[in-house]
Structure 1
Amino acid sequence: MTSSSFKFKCFQYFFIIIFMLHVYAATSILSSSPDNSSFNNFLEIAKSPEVFDWMVSIRRKIHENPELGYEEFDTSERIRSELDKMGIPYKHPVAITGVIGFIGTGLPPFVALRADMDALPIQEMVEWEHKSKVAGKMHACGHDAHATMLLGAAKILKHHEKEIQGTVVLVFQPAEEGSGGARKIVESGVLQNVTAIFGLHIAPELPVGEVASRSGPILAGGGRFEAKISGKGGHAAIPHHSIDPILAASNGIISLQQLVSREADPLDTQVVTVAKFQGGSTFNVIPDYVTIGGTYRAFSKQSFDQLRLRIEQIIVGQAAVHRCNATVDFLDEVKPSYPPTVNDGDLHEHFVNVAVSMLGINNVKSAMTPAMTSEDFAFYQEVIPGYFFILGVKNASHKRFQPSLHSPYLQINEDGLPYGAALHASLASSYLLKHHHHVHGV
């Protein structure tokens, strides 16, 4: 054998070995995932006219009849009616209007899927056949779609109930928009046996068929504060006879801005915003008091709690410097603060496997940039490993202006509904299959 032919043979063997290693690695990765072959047609089922048209009909009925937090009586009744038709048992009422459904064996392991139901106090400005029928209320955050997709997942899972290796818990939750309905669900005890929970949120800027998420912090903790700074009113022409609360409040606001610029680690993203300032009613009278209010955000519980502590210290301290008194209310009873939304690492791996299998790797954004908005899904994650992801529902039109969430002009693409339903169903069923093996030693 010549030297050149010997080298050629070596290269051949080398590439054969590399190819076999790749095949082995791919086989190992696939075999390490639970066998979910029974569940790999969920998206096809969700897109079928029977299921898709049914979901569209439900979403539009909910959209026409929006209800605010803890007032979702009609929405709850509509959901229960659909569960009854499917023969799915449930608990009601939970957290006033909440509905908790059950599909599967009724035995461990238990995995939960969550959808919120409440609307916003916004007047809808979109002109279409199914516009809100309630003045000043609108599903401007997509919760009508969330509830619909969970019902869609329920329909799919019920059809495959005999194959489910455990129990799927359906959480139709009230009052996500500022009132912490998730906390009431947790406090009710209905999730005490659940070992994982999944939730999603629509994104009008993300194309249909795409999802986005990340491991670790994905949304910030969010809190509110309101402060009353009291002084002594008087004529603006003789300020030395008064104690000016406007000056005290103004210095307090400037000092609050330094919490982030001078006390926070530059690599630990935080926000403090004063968005409310009310005081005085005329140009030549110093008022007796002023009211300021705002929000604070952070991605870690420690930073969030530190911001809360310092906000009160600064407002009270700056008021005292200017001879005023101040009280700070964090509105916990009315609008509880939300913890940071932090995705479990193992569930992130599970989500990526399921989503890539269903949607393709190019449609799964698994390292999205965290956002400073808040979600009460975080209350579940404080007691249960949880995972939250974003689902594309970008409008099919090619308008330059794409309305955001909480906009009176929000329009969602209903073609996204099957993707949410199928992902919900697949995430839960494959999770149970995997953990049934662990529980039962298979």
Structure 2
Amino acid sequence: MTKPLENDLHQFFYDLHQHPELSNNEFETTQKIKKALDQHHIKVLDLPLKTGLVAEIGQGIPFIVLRGDIDALPIQEQVDVSYTSKNDGVMHACGHDFHATAMLGTAILLKEREHTLQGTVRIIFQAAEEVGTGALDVIRTGVLDQAEAVFGIHNDPTLVSGIIGCKEGALTAGVDRFAIRIQAKGTHAARPQDGNDPLIVVAHIIQVFQTIISRRISSDENAVVSLTQVHSGTTWNIIPDTAFLEGTVRSFNTQTRQLIENEIRQILKGIEQTFAVKIDLDWQAGPPSVTNDSIWSNFALQVAKESNLQYREVEKSPIGEDFSFYQEKVSGAFIMIGSGGPYPLHHPKFKIDTNIVFPSALYLSNLAESALGFLQKKRK
């Protein structure tokens, strides 16, 4: 079964890669996964999800959850492979096609040994991770209720292909997005005294924001405040009425996250009063930091060792990941799998080393089976 399954998974991966779908529009992807699960007589739960689905193998308690995401990104692919994306302007630049395929392989392997499983495994094929809403949609269905552990995966192009990486505590950053709109008073550039220049305000905001990390956050903490867009004006000789700024905050604990938001609000309030302008802040809180349970993160590395795979403790990363919402309900671990690089996630030349697909499925099936056995022993 091993070689035929490996070949089937590769073909499934190629197909997903060629037909990527954006967040909340993964209709064909969902149907392809469901069809593959049906072919192996794997139960799919009847849930009110627009896209994505949840498979179930085994029965009774304990029960654990595995999660892989399925959505793609609005990026034009530049990878020279035979299975490049056929959907113009859309590609799997984050490797969710690999995540979905690995989870499909896991489901098939677990189904083969279903009669020996000491509990239930639910596998989430999650939509809309890239927009940060998919995990919450799944949680609202109640599919995680009474679960005793949750595991998720993400490929990591900075790691050697196939290596399993994990760490206890914070692994990814909490993600916040902000948009700032400044209403001032435009005038002719030759008579600035007749107006109220929003670009002067922009300059102060940019400068003062950089002091939040350097002067308000302890050097023991990692955090980032990045301004990524500035728009104002229409021509060379007119001072505009308005300006717009946008950016992101990345942090690794709730206290730092709240402190940065408070500082930004206070800074903008002060600048608004100082320059007699109107400043509106649109603060969009995203997923919190992925924070791994110490027992389950060490367990994940131990299973990698027992599966004769390379493994290592990894550093935390400032990327965002909505898997953290699951961890607010159930303890567990988010696991990185080396995908070989050289291009980073979300790059138009990003590519998965397909040699990791089947070993990853085998590892995850071993992880699920071992976790059920571990929880069963705790009951005795």
Counterpart of 1:355 in structure 2 is 304
- Give the number of the structure whose residues are more often helix, by fraction: 1
- 2:360 corresponds to 1:420: yes
User: What is the 5 A alignment of 1:406-417?
Assistant: 406-417=346-357
Q: What is the CA–CA distance in structure 1 between the aligned matches of 2:162 and 2:246, rounded to whole Å?
A: 40
Q: Deviations over 1:189-240 (max 9, x none)?
A: 1111211111111122322231111111111111100010110111111111
Q: TM-score, normalised by structure 1?
A: 0.84
Counterpart of 1:17 in structure 2 is none
Aligned partner of 1:296: which letter?
Answer: V
Q: 2:322 aligns with which of 363, 372, 376?
A: 376
Q: Secondary structure at the match of 1:219?
A: coil
User: What is the 5 A alignment of 1:2-401?
Assistant: 48-105=2-59, 107-331=60-284, 336-360=285-309, 363-366=310-313, 368-394=314-340
CA contact (8 A) 1:69 1:179 kept: no
Q: Secondary structure at the match of 1:228?
A: strand
Q: Secondary structure at the match of 2:215?
A: helix
Q: What is the CA–CA distance in structure 2 between the aligned matches of 1:204 and 1:294, rounded to whole Å?
A: 25
Aligned partner of 1:392: which letter?
Answer: G
Give % identity.
34
Q: Secondary structure at the match of 2:8?
A: helix
CA contact (8 A) 1:95 1:174 kept: no
Deviation of the 1:338 alpha carbon? 1.3
Q: What is the CA–CA distance in structure 1 between the aligned matches of 2:143 and 2:156, rounded to whole Å?
A: 29
Deviation of the 1:94 alpha carbon? 4.2
CA contact (8 A) 2:165 2:301 kept: no
Q: Deviations over 1:117-154 (max 9, x none)?
A: 00000000113221111100000000000000000000
Between Structure 1 and Structure 2, how many residues are aligned? 380
Stretch of structure 1 that moved more, 351-360 or 109-118:
351-360
CA contact (8 A) 1:257 1:272 kept: yes
Which segments of 5 or more consecutive residues in structure 2 lack a partner in the other structure? none
CA contact (8 A) 2:132 2:321 kept: no
Q: What is the CA–CA distance in structure 1 between the aligned matches of 2:250 and 2:337, rounded to whole Å?
A: 23
Which segments of 5 or more consecutive residues in structure 1 lack a partner in the other structure? 1-44, 396-401
In our comparison, the structure showing a higher alpha carbon Rg is 1
Q: What is the CA–CA distance in structure 2 between the aligned matches of 1:303 and 1:55, rounded to whole Å?
A: 42
Q: Secondary structure at the match of 1:129?
A: coil
Q: What is the CA–CA distance in structure 2 between the aligned matches of 1:308 and 1:171, rounded to whole Å?
A: 32
Deviation of the 1:315 alpha carbon? 2.1
CA contact (8 A) 1:123 1:408 kept: yes
Q: What is the CA–CA distance in structure 2 between the aligned matches of 1:53 and 1:175, rounded to whole Å?
A: 28
User: Alpha carbon RMSD of aligned pairs, Å?
Assistant: 1.3
Q: Deviations over 1:21-64 (max 9, x none)?
A: xxxxxxxxxxxxxxxxxxxxxxxx7xx32111111011111111
CA contact (8 A) 1:198 1:424 kept: no
Q: List 4+ stretches of structure 1 deviating above 4 A.
A: none
Q: Deviations over 1:250-290 (max 9, x none)?
A: 10121111110000011011100001100001111111110
Q: What is the CA–CA distance in structure 2 between the aligned matches of 1:269 and 1:181, rounded to whole Å?
A: 27
